[in-house]
Amino acid sequence: MIKAFVREFPTVHLVIGVIGNLVFFVGSVLFIWQATELLAIWLFIAGSFGMLLGAIGQALYLRERHRLNGAPGRQQDRLH
Handedness of CA 52, 54, 55, 61 (dihedral sign): positive
**61, 7 Cβ separation under 8 angstroms:** yes
- The answer to whether residue 48 scores a pLDDT higher than 90 is yes
Q: How confident is residue 11, by pLDDT bands cut at 50, 70 and 90?
A: confident
Tell me the pTM. Answer: 0.72
pLDDT tens figures, 12-37: 888 888 999 999 999 999 999 999 99
Give the pLDDT of residue 53.
92
Task: Give the C-alpha separation, 15 to 74, whole Å.
Answer: 29
